Structure 1
Amino acid sequence: MERVNKIINMLENGQHNEALTEYNDVLQNGMPDEKFLLGEELYQYGFLEEAKSLIENLLETFPEEGELLVLLGEILVEAGEDEEAILVLEKISEYDANFGQSLLLLADLYQVQGLYEVCERKLLKAKELLPDEIIIDFALGELYSEQGEVTKALEAYEKVLKEENEIAGVNIDQRIADLLSVSGMFEEALVYYEKAMNEKLEINTLFGYGFTALQAGYYQTAIGKFTELKELDPEYHSLYLHLALAYEREGELENSLLTIQEGIKQDEFNKELFFLGGKIATQLGKAEAGEQYFREALALDPGFIEAALTLNKLFFLQERYEDIIDLITELDIKEDEEPQLLWDAAVSYQKLEKFSYALDKYESAYTFFKKNETFLQDYGYFLIEEGKSDRAAEIFKQLLNEDPTNGEYMDLLERLTGLKD
């Protein structure tokens, strides 16, 4: 169509006013084929309102034409008018040659809206009509994967894989590998990651391969894949934490700490990197550096419970009981949300000889640790030191019920009840 080509050339050359004049002439006076072709072209170029007007104009003459309704549906989807698109696409008759295409578009729309059962029905109907269309199997795989229906998703992806390794820009071996990995089937996933890597080197595939190898316990393989990824894209932030973990599990603590330092340079707001840095530095005997890493993690997230508890353990080893109390006071963590903080505070106050505070914390912690033998021992011995023999006897009775042959508990209980008599 000569005028269609002329309008497109004008648009490409920036002659928008001239193109608009020609467009309006086609809209008012053009032949149906000319309007349809121009509508398609304008849609591809992103002129959605103009394309929409042309197709709606045609539908006034051909209201049941499936090809027009599908194109209008696609335009509306691209414009973000999903509800309108659904209304248009639902008009297409099941006897129309374009019905299958409409079902695929509708399935996408319903999936986006979270209407998975409706989406599945549309796709299964489309599969009945177009049994050889592997794009439908792919869509079913995507749907079942999103729903966590692993077996169904794998079956759908395997059907695609019989025909194509890639569809809609997606590597199917990688899709299967990711699904198996998320489902905890790490050994099986590694086979598909290897296939995907042989087909195309892609950084997300490389990360998935490394992550799955790490989960499966193949730490050297994980180190190799993450290192390769780092060389390809040093700004791929997620790799550093997992590479550091792989080094740690291989016992290569210095390399682990170096990796953490590299990762922090790339992502200074990653609290997990700082936390792991604290653990690794402490294992290496670098207590001061470890403390600093833990404090950085808590500065990023004052509610980071694991970092707080681990830092407390370090302070206990160093007998820094005031620091434990200060840390607990500063945290954005309520003690009843993490009862271990109550226990930590109780022991710390006891060591600082602030016995009334210690008693208050022990009593609060008892609610959460009444079945914990170590806690009950701490609490019981504290009560003895404080001369609270009745309460201490109750605690050691509880301990003896759990461990009836424990001679130490028997002797203490006998002494405590004897004091009472």
Structure 2
Amino acid sequence: MELLHNITEAMEKGDQAEVGRLLDNVLLEVEPDLLYELAEGLMNYGFAEEAARVYEHLIFLFPEENQLRIDKAQVLMEIGREDEALLILSEVPKTDEDYPIALLALADYYQMIGLHEAAEQRIDEAMSLLPDEPLLIFAKAELLLNSGRYLEAARLYEELKKGNAELTGVNLSERLAEVYSAGAAYEEAIPYYEEAISSNHSPELLFGLGIAAFQVGRYKTAISTLEELLSMDPDYFSAYLLLSQAHAMLEQNEKAYTVITDGIQRDSFEKEYYLVAGKLTLKLGDTQSAEDHLRQAIALDPEYMEALYTLMSLLHQYERDEEVIELFEQLKHEGSDWPALLPFVAESYSRNEQFERAYEIYTLAYTEHKEDPSFLEKYVYFLLEEGKREEAIEILKQLQNLAPDMRWIELMDSLE
């Protein structure tokens, strides 16, 4: 029919004025069953107001069809006319066969605005009327998943999977893999990932399987899965990091380093790649490359705490105290305040014979590190060297409580 063809063309072009102009004639001349399809098409192309007009016309023609009212209410929710939508849904009689669908539409609305308990009540009421309806069970499972109630959701998806491989376009094996992974039940997720992959060999599923296998210590499985993923999609950047970590867990550090440098070649702006590369080269004994990688990470993000900590730890280990101090003062000048770095800095100032500044930094560090025995030990000896005997005794008492040792008792006795 020419009218339908014309309005479809206008929809595809996004010509709202033309769609509006044609719609009046379409409503008068096109058969109702085709109008219903047109309403769905209008929604798909983003013409929600026009779809609402079509449903209004159909309701006028078939006032007894509550499904049309429910459809209109769902459209009204899409365009922010919730009050009208809720009124329409509330008018569907409880005795009507479409009442459970109205409850489901209400549940969708309450879930959308974050009222999960109200949504669950509506779904439960619908399920009390149609206890074996798969769509209602699926809606309840989806609600539980979105509410973080993963084990309850999994039980319902398992029930559905006994009779359905797929529901509303959702593969239930994929959904179960997702649910179990979200609940950190990675061992349970793995067979569902494998089952889903057998019918849908997608990068996303392969990555999900790689994560699950990694989390349960099946590093060889993770490696083979992620290598397959990267052969399919070399630009799946998250896989490089996980694959490198899987090799590292097997102490295959050179392979791990090769993988992460491949990742860097693909994405030279991913700071985490440089951090991992830096840590791996430290393991491999190449401190210069480690420092280079860490500085590259920091260049990408000057407040990248983990890279800053690792670099400062490296500089501190090799007693490059002036560089430790310089890095710290630069961070402080830029307004950054990292308590985790203070023990390194305090010791570097002390070794550099800037004792007043060292004392100041030790005092600051104490606030954050007073539960750390290794820090307290260094602090005690610094205080003793500076002649601050009373302060040293107080720290010694705390050290003895945290990590009892005859050394601290003997040192305390000698001081008292």
TM-score using structure 2 length? 0.88
Say if 1:118 and 1:304 are closer, same or farther in 2 by CA, change over 3 A.
Answer: same
Say if 1:414 and 1:275 are closer, same or farther in 2 by CA, change over 3 A.
Answer: same
Partner Cα separation in structure 2 for residue 92 and residue 52 of structure 1: 18
Q: Which moved more, 1:318-327 or 1:89-98?
A: 89-98
- Displacement of 1:110 in angstroms is 1.6
- Displacement of 1:228 in angstroms is 0.9
Aligned residue runs from structure 1 range 73-84, under 5 A:
73-79=73-79, 81-84=81-84
Q: RMSD across aligned C-alpha pairs, in angstroms?
A: 2.8
Is 1:274 the counterpart of 2:274 in the alignment?
A: yes
Aligned residue runs from structure 1 range 121-136, under 5 A:
121-136=121-136
Say if 1:219 and 1:401 are closer, same or farther in 2 by CA, change over 3 A.
Answer: closer
Partner Cα separation in structure 2 for residue 118 and residue 401 of structure 1: 52
Is 1:185 the counterpart of 2:192 in the alignment?
A: no
- Displacement of 1:74 in angstroms is 3.6
Q: 2:5 aligns with which of 2, 6, 9?
A: 9
User: What is the identity, as a one-letter code, of the residue corresponding to 1:10?
Assistant: N
Corresponding residue of 1:413: 412
Corresponding residue of 2:372: 372
- Displacement of 1:415 in angstroms is 4.0
Corresponding residue of 1:34: 31
TM-score using structure 1 length? 0.87
User: What is the identity, as a one-letter code, of the residue corresponding to 1:8?
Assistant: L
Note the alpha carbon deviations across 1:315-340, whole angstroms, 9 max, x for none: 112211122122223336754xx433
Say if 1:170 and 1:202 are closer, same or farther in 2 by CA, change over 3 A.
Answer: farther
Say if 1:325 and 1:35 are closer, same or farther in 2 by CA, change over 3 A.
Answer: same
Contact 2:7 2:22 in 1 (8 A): no
- Displacement of 1:140 in angstroms is 1.2
Note the alpha carbon deviations across 1:372-414, whole angstroms, 9 max, x for none: 32222211211222223333344334445556651x4344334
User: What is the identity, as a one-letter code, of the residue corresponding to 2:96?
Assistant: D
Note the alpha carbon deviations across 1:142-194, whole angstroms, 9 max, x for none: 11111121221011101210111222222211221222223222222212212
Contact 2:39 2:55 in 1 (8 A): no
Partner Cα separation in structure 2 for residue 218 and residue 155 of structure 1: 25
Corresponding residue of 1:70: 70
User: What is the identity, as a one-letter code, of the residue corresponding to 1:366?
Assistant: Y
User: What is the identity, as a one-letter code, of the residue corresponding to 2:382?
Assistant: F
Say if 1:368 and 1:13 are closer, same or farther in 2 by CA, change over 3 A.
Answer: closer
Corresponding residue of 1:317: 317
Aligned residue runs from structure 1 range 282-293, under 5 A:
282-293=282-293
Say if 1:315 and 1:61 are closer, same or farther in 2 by CA, change over 3 A.
Answer: same
Which stretches in structure 1 are left out of the alignment for 5+ residues? none
Aligned residue runs from structure 1 range 167-182, under 5 A:
167-182=167-182
Partner Cα separation in structure 2 for residue 184 and residue 25 of structure 1: 56
Say if 1:163 and 1:378 are closer, same or farther in 2 by CA, change over 3 A.
Answer: same
Aligned residue runs from structure 1 range 5-404, under 5 A:
5-12=1-8, 23-27=23-27, 29=28, 34-35=31-32, 37-45=34-42, 46=45, 47-60=47-60, 65-79=65-79, 81-331=81-331, 334-335=336-337, 338-400=338-400
Partner Cα separation in structure 2 for residue 216 and residue 238 of structure 1: 19
Percent identical pairs in the alignment equals: 37
Partner Cα separation in structure 2 for residue 206 and residue 129 of structure 1: 40
Q: Which moved more, 1:375-384 or 1:385-394?
A: 385-394
Say if 1:311 and 1:162 are closer, same or farther in 2 by CA, change over 3 A.
Answer: same
Note the alpha carbon deviations across 1:182-232, whole angstroms, 9 max, x for none: 322222221221222223222211111000000110111001111111111
Q: Between Structure 1 and Structure 2, how many residues are aligned?
A: 407
